A = this chain, B = another copy of it.
Amino acid sequence: MTDLSTATTPTHVGHSQLANAIRFLSLDAVEAANSGHPGLPMGMADIATVLWGKFLKFDPARPDWPDRDRFVLSAGHGSMLLYAVNWLTGYKRVGLDELKRFRQLHSLTPGHPEHDVLAGVETTTGPLGQGIATAVGMALAERILNARFGDELVDHRTWVIASDGDLMEGVSHEACSIAGHLGLKRLIVLYDDNGISIDGPTSLSFSDDTANRFRSYGWNVATVDGHDPEEIENALASAMNADKPTLIACRTIIGYGSPNRAGTSEAHSNAFGAAELAATREKLDWPHGPFVIPDQIVDAWRSFGVRGRDASAAWSKQHEQHRQRAAFDQAIAGDVRGLDALIQQYKTKVASEKPKIATRQASGQVLELLSPSMPEMIGGSADLTPSNNTRVKNSGAIEAGNFNGRYVHWGVREHGMAAAMNGMALHGGVIPYGGTFLSFADYCRPAIRLAALMKQRSIFVMTHDSIGLGEDGPTHQPVEHIASLRAMPNLLVLRPCDAVETAEAWQLALTRTDGPSLLALTRQAVPHARTDAGAENLTARGAYKLAAATADERVTLLATGSEIGIALDAKRELENAGIGTSVVSMPCWSLFEKQSEAYRRSLLPANTLKVAIEAGVRMGWDRWIGPDGIFIGMEGFGESAPYAQLYERFGITTAAVTGAVRARL
C-alpha cells in the first residue's frame, strides 16, 4: 500500500495506521457491546481515511457549518466507522467513553447512526437504501441553494458510503435515477463492493452489473481497489471534477485484517471474540490495547479537522460581507416569517365566500398565496402534479443545469421523493413538500417514518384520500392508510374538512420544526364548513366544536375531512327531530391527545351518544367514541364506481348516521 499521508500529517503517521485506528476502535467497541457490525468499518477504513484525510470539507468544531460537505453512511450498520472518525477528528461531544458505551442505553453511539443523537451524523440510517436516497435530496438542496446564493455561500458536496444492500433496495433505483436525470454532480457515492451479504456471498442473490446500471442512469462510474489509497485518492479527485453524479465501486474485503473472518459473511456482524481479535491485532501489527490509540495517530487525525477549520473561517468571512447574507440566514434558520398574515388573509376570504371545492384545490390555492413570499418552499409530485395541485403557477421546474426552479418533477418515484425530501429538510435552507395519492403513502412509508424519527419538516401532500376518489377503485382508495399513519409516532396527520382547515393545516405543517406533517386531502369537492375564521388556528387543537348543539346535547358527531359535510347534515336532521346534536371536527388526533383533559371532555361529554364518521377503518376511533359509540365508516376495501355511489354502497351517508342514532336513542 502506498503511504500518501506523510505529506499531510505532521508526525509522519502512515495511512495504514490511520485506517487501522478506525478498524480497532470499531472492533473494540463491538467487542465491548458484544453486538454490532465490524465488517464494514474494517473494509471501508482505507476509503474513509482518504476521504476524511484529503477531501471532506468539515469542521469538527462547527458541525452546523452550512457549507460543510455532507457525509452519509447509508450502510448504517457500519456505524462504528462514523463514530470512530467522529472521535478521531475531534468532534466535541463524543469521547472515548462514548465509544466504549457503543449500543448502550442513552449513549451517543447507538446501534445505527441517529441524526438527533450525535453531531456529525447528517441523517439517521440503518434501513437500507434510505441513506443514499436521502443524500440525493441533500445534493439537490445544495444545488438549489447554490443557484439562489452562489458559490461563495453554497459550494459543497454530498458523500455517501453505500453497501450492496443499499443498491439492491428499490429506493436506490428511484433516487439514483432522478439524481442522474438532474445531473447532481456534487453527489459522490462510494460503493462498498465487498461481495458479501448476511445470507452469504452476494452471488446467492445478486448479479447486477452495477457500473452499467449507474451508467444507464447517466452517472459517472469508476472502479478502485478499496485498499489502495493512491487509487482511491485519484478516483475521489476525478469525482470532484465530474459533471455528473459519481459512483465509485470500491472493491473491498469485508472485515479486512481478520485472519479468519475477512471476506466472509461472518465478518458482517457480531463480536469477533478474544481469540480472533488478538489474531487480527497481530495480523495488522496493532500492538495497542482496546480503545488505545497512540497520540501521534490521534494528532494526525485531528490535523484533518484543522484543514476544515480554516475553510470554515474563510467561509465565515465571505458570509459576513455577502449582500444576500440576511436572506441566506433566514433560509438556513428555516423561519416562515409572514406566513400567519397570508394564512389569515386566505381564511377570511374563504370563510366569507364559502367555496365548495376539494381540499386538494384549497391546498393549491394556499400554495399559490404562500409561495411567492416563501422562496424556501420547494414543491414536487411523484408524477401526479395536475391531481395533487402541488405546482404553483409560474414556478419553474428544477432541471439538470438549471436549479433556479421551485418545483421537482419526481417521476413515478414516491419512495425516492419522500426520502429525498428528508434529505432536503436535513440539509436546510429549503422546505420540501411533495405530493402523491394517499394510497401510495404505503410506497413512501419507510421514508415518512425516518422523517418522524429524525424530527424533520418534510411535508407530504396526499390527495385522493378515500373512496371519494371514485372510479379508480380499491387499489387507489385509501381505507386503512389514515389509521396506519396516525399510529406512527411524531407524524402530524392532518385531514382538513374545508378550505379554512386546509389553510390551518398548512400553517401547522410549515411552522412545525420538530417533525413531518401529512395532509390528507380530498379529490372531490366538499361543502364549506367553517364560517368562523378568527386568528386562532383551531386545527392546532386537533379537534374543536365545529357546530354546537342548539338543544340539550344528546348526540356528539365526530368526523374528519370529507365526512364533516355528512355530520353537519345529520346534525340538522337530528335537531329538526328535536335531538340536540353537536359536531366535532377532528382534523388531527395527535394534537387533540395533547390537549388538557378538561378541553377534551368539553368536546366529548360523558353522557352523550358518540358517533364517528370517517371514510376509513374503525381502528383507533374507539378511543373517542367509547364502548357505546357508533362508527360509520369502512369495513373493508373500496370498489370502483362514481364516488357518490360508493358512499351509498358503503353506508357512509347522512341517512345512515341519523338512522343509527334513532335506532339507539
Residues on A facing B (Cβ under 8 Å): 33, 35-36, 76-77, 103-107, 110-112, 114, 124-129, 164-166, 168-174, 177-178, 180-181, 197-200, 202, 204-213, 215-218, 381, 383-387, 397, 399, 409-413, 415-416, 439-440, 442-443, 445-446, 449-450, 452-453, 470-476, 479-480, 483-490, 617-620, 622-623, 626-627, 634-637, 639-642, 645-646, 649
Partner of A639, one of B35, B106, B168, B646: B106
Partner of A174, one of B33, B125, B170, B470: B170
A174-B170, A212-B216, A480-B488 known; A383-B413 Cβ under 8 A: no
Determine whether the beta carbon of B114 is less than 8 Å from that of A197.
no
Partner of A170, one of B171, B450, B483: B171
Determine whether the beta carbon of B198 is less than 8 Å from that of A165.
no
Determine whether the beta carbon of B209 is less than 8 Å from that of A216.
yes
**In the complex, how many angstroms separate the beta carbon of A73 from the nearest chain B beta carbon?**
12
Partner of A397, one of B197, B204, B490: B204
Determine whether the beta carbon of B473 is less than 8 Å from that of A126.
yes
Give the chain B neighbours of A411 by CB distance below 8 A.
Answer: 165, 168, 197, 202, 204-206
Determine whether the beta carbon of B168 is less than 8 Å from that of A483.
no
Give the chain B neighbours of A489 by CB distance below 8 A.
Answer: 479-480, 617, 634-637
Roughly how many angstroms separate A473 CA and B202 CA in the complex, as a whole number?
25
Give the chain B neighbours of A177 by CB distance below 8 A.
Answer: 168, 206-208
**In the complex, how many angstroms separate the beta carbon of A649 from the nearest chain B beta carbon?**
6
30 contacts between A and B (CB under 8 A): A105-B646, A106-B639, A110-B474, A110-B639, A110-B640, A111-B472, A111-B640, A168-B383, A169-B170, A170-B170, A177-B206, A177-B207, A177-B208, A178-B205, A197-B383, A197-B411, A198-B385, A204-B409, A207-B218, A209-B217, A209-B218, A442-B446, A453-B474, A479-B489, A480-B488, A487-B619, A489-B634, A618-B623, A620-B622, A627-B627
A169-B170, A488-B484 known; A105-B641 Cβ under 8 A: yes
Roughly how many angstroms separate A106 CA and B649 CA in the complex, as a whole number?
10
A486-B619, A619-B483 known; A412-B207 Cβ under 8 A: no
A409-B199, A409-B205, A619-B483 known; A126-B475 Cβ under 8 A: yes
Roughly how many angstroms separate A489 CA and B218 CA in the complex, as a whole number?
42
**In the complex, how many angstroms separate the beta carbon of A456 from the nearest chain B beta carbon?**
14
Which residue of chain B is the closest to A400 with respect to CB atoms?
B207
A165-B412, A170-B413 known; A475-B76 Cβ under 8 A: yes
The quantity of this chain's copies bound in the complex is 2
Give the chain B neighbours of A476 by CB distance below 8 A.
Answer: 111-112, 126-127
Closest 10 CB pairs of A and B: A170-B170, A110-B640, A205-B411, A173-B173, A126-B475, A484-B484, A105-B641, A165-B412, A622-B623, A480-B487
Partner of A114, one of B33, B181, B213, B473: B473
**In the complex, how many angstroms separate the beta carbon of A539 from the nearest chain B beta carbon?**
21
Give the chain B neighbours of A641 by CB distance below 8 A.
Answer: 103-106
Determine whether the beta carbon of A412 is less than 8 Å from that of B169.
yes
**In the complex, how many angstroms separate the beta carbon of A283 from the nearest chain B beta carbon?**
26
Give the chain B neighbours of A215 by CB distance below 8 A.
Answer: 209, 212
Determine whether the beta carbon of A443 is less than 8 Å from that of B446.
yes
Roughly how many angstroms separate A634 CA and B204 CA in the complex, as a whole number?
38
Determine whether the beta carbon of A412 is less than 8 Å from that of B197.
yes
Extra A-B contacts (19), CB below 8 Å, given A103-B471, A453-B637: A111-B473, A127-B440, A129-B170, A129-B412, A166-B412, A168-B412, A168-B413, A170-B174, A200-B409, A206-B411, A440-B446, A443-B445, A453-B475, A479-B489, A480-B489, A483-B619, A490-B637, A620-B622, A622-B623
A620-B620, A636-B489, A639-B105 known; A198-B646 Cβ under 8 A: no
Which residue of chain B is the closest to A386 with respect to CB atoms?
B198
Determine whether the beta carbon of B484 is less than 8 Å from that of A483.
yes
Give the chain B neighbours of A443 by CB distance below 8 A.
Answer: 127, 169, 445-446
Give the chain B neighbours of A439 by CB distance below 8 A.
Answer: 127
Give the chain B neighbours of A399 by CB distance below 8 A.
Answer: 204
Roughly how many angstroms separate A125 CA and B475 CA in the complex, as a whole number?
8
**In the complex, how many angstroms separate the beta carbon of A619 from the nearest chain B beta carbon?**
4
Roughly how many angstroms separate A617 CA and B487 CA in the complex, as a whole number?
7
Give the chain B neighbours of A206 by CB distance below 8 A.
Answer: 177, 181, 411
Which residue of chain B is the closest to A171 with respect to CB atoms?
B170
Determine whether the beta carbon of B114 is less than 8 Å from that of A474.
yes
Determine whether the beta carbon of A35 is less than 8 Å from that of B170.
no
Determine whether the beta carbon of B165 is less than 8 Å from that of A383.
yes
**In the complex, how many angstroms separate the beta carbon of A72 from the nearest chain B beta carbon?**
14
Give the chain B neighbours of A409 by CB distance below 8 A.
Answer: 199-200, 204-205
Determine whether the beta carbon of A124 is less than 8 Å from that of B475.
yes
Determine whether the beta carbon of A470 is less than 8 Å from that of B170.
no
Give the chain B neighbours of A645 by CB distance below 8 A.
Answer: 105
Roughly how many angstroms separate A293 CA and B110 CA in the complex, as a whole number?
67
Roughly how many angstroms separate A412 CA and B75 CA in the complex, as a whole number?
12
